[in-house]
Amino acid sequence: MSDVDYWAQRISEIGARIAKLLAADARIFFEDTVRERFVEAGAVADALDRAGVAALKRATTEAATAASQDVLDALPEEAWLTVELPEGDLGQVPAVAAARAALESRLGAFLADARLGDAVAWRLPQRFIDGDNLPSLARSLFRSVAEYRALQARVAATQAGQTSQARRQRWDEA
């Protein structure tokens, strides 16, 4: 395995861990937000009987699961290999921004349909989830991306030099 392949694999692995963490947090965030809105809803919440509340909980669980999948879908493996270095802000990575938008859109629509208020912004988690911590993973990702880009540049420079040398040799031998 070449060094470039090693760093590409490392970036993909870190990206998969980030995607898993964000998907888990998206589910929790969705369910917690609906629960909080229900508690604060007043007349809307009071109008639901026990069966209505149970139906809302089931619908919330299903929608939270779908939102979690939306996040995973927005963060495919290839997205991590195209990451630029946005000064260490994972929220600025286009795929992460797309995942955030997908979650917020689904949650906003759900809240509106349930008459539980407006959408809320999803803040990327700072706590440990399933043994991983997003800030630590983000630092690892950005360090790995920097190493990967530097290695790609060195390989490209070496190949360009070899190509020029081969052309010189062809010219000299002709």
Least confident window among 18-27, 74-83, 135-144, 163-172: 163-172
DSSP string, 132-160: EEHHHHHHHHHHHHHHHHHHHHHHHHHHH
- Residue-wise pLDDT for 61-94, tens only, equals 999 999 999 999 999 988 888 877 656 688 888 8
pLDDT of residue 103: 96
Q: What does pTM read for this prediction?
A: 0.82
Cα-Cα end-to-end distance for the chain:
37
Q: Which tops the pLDDT comparison, 164 or 107?
A: 107
State the average pLDDT over residues 94-119: 93
Dist. CA 81–CA 7, nearest whole Å: 10
Q: Which tops the pLDDT comparison, 94 or 31?
A: 31
Q: Which residue in 124, 110, 123, 125 sits closest to 37, CA to CA? A: 110
pLDDT of residue 161: 65
Dist. CA 130–CA 33, nearest whole Å: 20
Q: Which tops the pLDDT comparison, 169 or 145?
A: 145
Q: How high is the mean pLDDT of the chain?
A: 87
pLDDT of residue 29: 97
pLDDT above 80 (res 120):
yes
pLDDT of residue 86: 58
Angular region, 48: left φ>0, alpha ψ -120 to 50, beta rest: beta
